[in-house]
Structure 1
């Protein structure tokens, strides 16, 4: 039950004065919610100093300033295109106000000669004189009015003005209770110099003075509150998970050693460390929830195979779930080649399977004769039953929702879960972004992976690139050609136009994959390329992850300057998987801007996905690198990861300490934290353990 003191914050937006049927949907869209509290979480992104300057001479062109002066003269426009001009005077000189298409009667009533006026707006220089065009405020000081000392400036959407949003935010502030308990550690508050929760909201929405340091401290305080609420929710989820029994999977070392001995190479140190983490998790008697994060080609599938072998040796089944049939088929091929020679039975299951083959697979899963299965969403269909599902492995986990993982988890008795991602993020963010998951990182490449030679080429040399592709196809190699969009009539860099051009120029049948195709059409095109029925594949970024074609040696990325670094790196990772030299051609349209030049140069210089992720984070910020709502994990309302990432680790340790010292949840601090979670826990954290 929600603490009744919070009820005023959860009143609907339309209870605010002035919010009617027309304004309500606009406001809901702006603040991404329906409640007064959602409006308060829509924070200003800057503040304007509206204090009245001593004189006109104190203003600087290009800045917003507030000044007071006497109306010296009013000049009507010469024609329809010229403005009304009002000349103010003070002890330092003149300042002109310009109004286009204004009502002459309003102008004369507003600016009688000899009257004092306070005006505020952007000061510009026009013909050697100071000028403000269409001031934000025009105030008569004789009436006792003044502009706001500080004006918060909010992100806006069409149909809403800053003044309207600010006025409503001031109303919303009156809903914040005066008697909320302190949920953050008091020593930390003192150390950081943070205001209280309520004071922080006041400093952001209704600041008593212009003080950039106080604005930053108030925002940081609320960011920490959000981090603490989120991390305490995850701490609760971890504690709850530890209370649930799960299969104890403990296999003799010889089981995995047999697989290692059959490999034509030695696993990397990172692979062995990750395998040890997973092995330890599966012996603890409560469900494992671990993320295996590895760069392109780092060998995640082998680590997952180690875990599946341990499960099979201990008498349990494993299910590998991939987001597409092509990826599921690749997983099956890899696992079958690795594990069948050791006597394990590996099967595949997807929506396309029909008839006796499907029935045989379903029977094998139910009677336990199939120990490892690779499949798609078909794995959690009602007809699928396992005899002893002990381990779930989810590939490209960000493509599945929590409900998908939960459905598969119900096929066993609290099975262990390993989720895998080939999308590197900055190491400093890995633990905080992935919330309730323990994290293992593969930061070494297996021996034998050849580097991909990366070249940035202007699109004026398009014909040279096409000729090079033709020579590669004649040598029996294959090539990807990635375009930024599907089909635009006036742009030949679209996938549909480029597909037609390449077929015509090269005289070959080319594959075409993009997001508008039906899943079956997409899978067929990918499978044709994988098996060699087509040897060039034109695609949008739908082939960014997972497609494994060792014969592909060339990746052309057209309009590369428009892609993010991490995305370019993922696309490049589709080639260089065989024994032949591989190339990535970054076709760009000159001239390059500074940021685009740095992106392409970074990609040419390094293949380290984590270094690339750090650079992408620096260049674009967390929202773009991670996806603003990546599976809900970064659904933050206040936290800016570029500024506040260190706070999440502090909050994580604090939440764990509070829970450890108060496992019965009876302390005042824990009860206060419960209120913080009501207000500031991202939706995903509230359901963090629903897939357990």
Structure 2
């Protein structure tokens, strides 16, 4: 049960004065919480932090106020000059003066009687707003604040500026945030006293008040003690939540998986190449995990082309040797079929029965596969998430391998394994994730990294070209195709849309068709499965030599003799995605090229991205750079996959706090696994506050 203490913060924002359904919809667009399955609450407003301030402590006097600056002026009202009757286009002006000069306060579509009350002639007033100078004359259009000198205490000297959306006025949002803030109760302290002293953290309510009512611009900086306190709260809630999920998953008793090693040896002999040093190390780590009675939860990180699939196959063979079955799950059907195509020949060579199961298998064929899984005839099954959702019954699932984890929600995935006979889990990702992000997304998961490319792989040369050299590029592609090379050509959109002037795949296909004739193919996400497969097959077998594609080919498509990839509007892609796409070439023994086509002028971030791509092929360095340029939500793909990003923490500013939060969470749960102590009870309040209810439910279930 949520502590009743928090009830005032869990009311919908429509219960706040001045917030009707229409305003609530606008506010929902700016709060940082994930509102996909609920309306916005008062607590979400409390964590909607300002991104800058208006500093009104600047009081230079009229004559010394620079144009464009926000200033506060102490003036005396001299005279009113209303707009001529019937002419709405002329503004209403109020002239006022101080010791240094005169200023016109300018109002469009003004309410004359309101202005006469607010600015009575002869009265001393304080006005605050942006200074403008026209032909040597100062003016202030629609001052932000007007107050009589006698009431000046009400004027905020440093005013927070919140993120806004069209139709939502700063005043309305500020008022709503203020009301939510008043509802924050006195909370029990869940932080360790020694840590609070070391980090100079204020109490939580003080931290919120400091940021929402800043006395200085520094108060709204992510580096301030107040903001760091809130970031740490959020990290701690996340780390405790992940640790509880993990403990629950671990509690479902694992079992040691050991075999006689014959299958593994046969598979290694069947491989057409030697394993790399890091593949051997990763396999040793996985083997050690599988032999323990606790369940394995391991993340296998490896750049595109580093040989994760082989590691997965050998791990699955270990589970089969131990008498169980293994399943491998991929995010898309294309990828599932491709994994199947690459591991089935090897598996069958050593007598393993392997099947593929996606939404496409129907009728009799599907029924046969399901029956063979249930009676244990099939050793390994490869498929999409359909494997875990439908009536799929395993006789004895011992190992689940999940590819491209960040496309599935983390909690859903861990919860999924909590259902059946808890299998060991190996999670693979080709998105190199910096250590800080591994912690935020996977908690304290064990990590194996594949750092080398398989022997014989050539480096990829990366070049950048502006669009005005497109004809030259097409000429080069024509020569390359004539020499028998294969080319991927990536476009950002499927079809033309008027809002976004990007070249669509279909349009690029039409423009290149006259040049390449029958040697050009097209594949995009809106095609039917069979059409996609046919386009991929024709390209793989060399019937087509140039494949126009959208980013459906980003993950896992394998055509070893493709040597060139052209990426249009490269400035529109994130670094991680550019790196993934580039990894589609350079998979064979021939030298490969990646051409990044961009449209001038480039912004600073885009320039940096393209230069990082030219400088390095190291996925981990690219991931670190991407984190600096984009922040954590984008990098984990959480914008699409529904895992929560952070509300107040900023990885790039607060990464140092993450390790501390992980250790703190670990220590706390070691001492007090059920969160029953005084601090444990306070931490339960923290979990509810940051929407980690599922963690509290696990405590009860456990």
Change over 3 Å in CA distance of 1:594–1:402 after alignment to 2 = closer
- Which region of structure 1 is more displaced relative to structure 2, 132-141 or 356-365? 356-365
| Alignment partner, residue 248 of structure 1 | 256
Q: Residues 34 and 457 of structure 1: is their aligned pair in 2 closer, same or farther, counting only changes over 3 Å? A: closer
Q: Distance in 1 between the 2:24 and 2:468 partners?
A: 51
Q: Which residue of structure 2 aligns with residue 198 of structure 1?
A: 205
SS at match of 2:154: coil
CA distance in 2, matches of 1:492, 1:221: 43
Q: Which residue of 2 aligns with 1:529?
A: 539
1:53 and 2:63 equivalent? Answer: no
Kept after mapping to 2: 8 A contact 1:249/1:310: yes
- The change in CA–CA distance for 1:530 and 1:396 in structure 2 (over 3 A counts) is farther
Structure 1 residues 354 and 410 mapped into 2: Cα distance closer, same or farther (>3 Å)?
A: farther
CA distance in 2, matches of 1:683, 1:463: 57
Q: Which range is displaced more, 184-193 or 240-249?
A: 240-249
The answer to whether 1:438 aligns with 2:446 is yes
- Decide which moves more: 474-483 or 647-656: 474-483
TM-score of the pair, normalised by structure 1? 0.92
- TM-score w.r.t. structure 2 length? 0.90
State which of 549, 572, 576 in structure 2 corresponds to 1:562: 572
Are the aligned partners of 2:632 and 2:645 in contact in 1 as well (CA < 8 Å)? no
Give distance in 1, aligned partners of 2:608 and 2:577: 15
Question: Are 2:650 and 1:640 aligned?
Answer: yes
Q: Deviations over 1:289-308 (max 9, x none)?
A: 22212111111111112211
- How many corresponding residue pairs? 690
The answer (yes or no) to whether the contact 2:77–2:122 under 8 Å persists in 1 is yes
Confirm or deny: 8 A CA contact 1:386 1:411 kept in the other structure.
no
CA drift of 1:583 comes to: 1.4
Does 2:4 correspond to 1:4? Answer: yes
User: Please, which of 186, 193, 199 is the counterpart of residue 193 of structure 2?
Assistant: 186
Q: Contact 1:385 / 1:411 at 8 angstroms: preserved in 2?
A: no
Q: Following the alignment from structure 1 to structure 2, what is the Cα–Cα distance between the partners of residues 387 and 210?
A: 65
How many angstroms does 1:69 deviate by?
A: 1.0
Which deviations, in whole Å up to 9, do the C-alpha atoms of 1:5-28 show, x marking residues without a partner? 111111222322223344333334
Contact 1:230/1:681, CA 8 A, preserved across alignment: no
SS of aligned partner of 1:447: coil
**Compared with structure 1, are the counterparts of its residues 605 and 342 closer, same or farther at alpha carbon in structure 2 (3 Å cutoff)?**
same
Q: Compare 134-143 and 120-129 and name the one that shifted more.
A: 120-129
Separation of aligned partners in 2, 1:213 and 1:144: 22
Is residue 2:560 matched to residue 1:550? yes
Give the corresponding residue for 2:395. Answer: 387
The answer for the alignment partner of 1:26 in structure 2 is: 26
Task: Write the distance in 2 (CA, Å) between the matches of 1:219 and 1:311.
Answer: 47
Residues in 1 aligned to 2:184 and 2:419: alpha-carbon distance in whole angstroms: 46
Determine whether 1:39 maps to 2:49: no
Contact preservation (8 Å) 2:52, 2:217:
no
Q: CA deviation at 1:193?
A: 1.2
Q: Deviations over 1:442-488 (max 9, x none)?
A: 22222211111111122222222223222333333321111122222
| Structure 2 residue aligned with 1:483 | 491
Match of 2:628 among 618, 635, 646: 618
Verify: 1:68 aligned to 2:74, yes or no: yes
C-alpha distance in 2 between matches for 1:126 and 1:183: 56
Q: Structure 1 CA distance, aligned partners of 2:553 and 2:512?
A: 18
1:668 Cα offset (Å): 0.6
Which 10-residue stretch deviates more, 109-118 or 444-453? 109-118
Contact 2:53–2:217 under 8 Å retained in 1: no
CA contact (8 A) 1:259 1:338 kept: yes
Q: Say whether 1:127 aligns with 2:127.
A: no
Q: Conserved in 2, the CA contact under 8 Å of 1:226 and 1:639? A: yes
The 3-state SS of whatever aligns with 1:418 is: strand
Match of residue 437 from structure 2: 429
Distance 2:569 2:544 in 1: 24
1:354-408 CA-to-partner distances (Å, cap 9, x unmatched) read 4665454334323323212222344336443322210111112233356974797
Q: Note the C-alpha offset of 1:56.
A: 4.0
Change (3 A) 1:452 1:384: same
What is the DSSP-based 3-state SS (H/G/I as helix, E as strand, rest coil) of the residue aligned with 2:129? strand
Deviation (angstroms), 1:580: 2.3
Matches within 5 A, 1:324-339: 324-339=332-347
Q: Does 1:574 align with 2:572?
A: no
CA positional deviation for 1:199: 0.7
Alignment partner, residue 280 of structure 1: 288
Contact 1:556–1:587 under 8 Å retained in 2: yes
Query: CA 1:112–1:360 in structure 2 vs 1: closer, same or farther (change >3 Å)?
Result: closer
Q: Is the CA contact 1:241–1:689 (under 8 Å) kept in the aligned structure 2?
A: no
Quote the residue 1:665 is aligned against: 675
How do 1:76-475 residues align onto structure 2 when only pairs under 5 Å count? 83-104=91-112, 106-142=114-150, 146-178=154-186, 180-207=187-214, 209-210=215-216, 212-213=218-219, 216-252=224-260, 255-354=263-362, 357-380=365-388, 382-401=390-409, 405=413, 409=417, 412-435=420-443, 437-475=445-483
Contact 1:237 1:689 in 2 (8 A): no
Q: Distance in 1 between matches of 2:414 and 2:203?
A: 39
Structure 2: 5+ residue stretches without partners = none
Q: Spell out, residue by residue over 1:133-164, the C-alpha distance to the aligned partner (whole angstroms, 9 max, x if none).
A: 22111112245663123322111223321111
The offset of 1:610, in angstroms, is 1.3
Q: Distance in 1 between matches of 2:363 and 2:416?
A: 23
CA distance in 2, matches of 1:685, 1:57: 60
**Residue 379 of structure 1 aligns to a residue in which SS?**
helix
Distance 1:633 1:492 in 2: 29
> In the TM superposition, what whole-angstrom CA distance separates every residue of 1:163-212 from its partner, at most 9, and x where no partner exists?
1121222222222112x2110111111111111011111112234x2251
SS at match of 2:518: coil
Say if 1:317 and 1:389, in contact at 8 Å, map to a contact too.
Answer: yes
Displacement, 1:110? 4.0
| Pairing of 1:602-613 with structure 2 (within 5 A) | 602-613=612-623
Q: Distance in 2 between matches of 1:509 and 1:264?
A: 31
**Mean CA deviation greater in 491-500 or 94-103:** 94-103
Tell me, in whole angstroms, the C-alpha distance in 2 between the residues paired with 1:634 and 1:272.
Answer: 35
Give the Cα separation in 2 of the matches to 1:618 and 1:141.
47
1:598 aligns to what SS in structure 2?
helix
Establish whether residue 680 from structure 1 lines up as the match of residue 690 from structure 2.
yes
* CA shift digits 1:600-653 (9 cap, x unpaired): 122112111111122222223333333354644442111111111221211110
Q: Distance in 1 between matches of 2:20 and 2:337?
A: 55
CA contact (8 A) 1:183 1:673 kept: yes
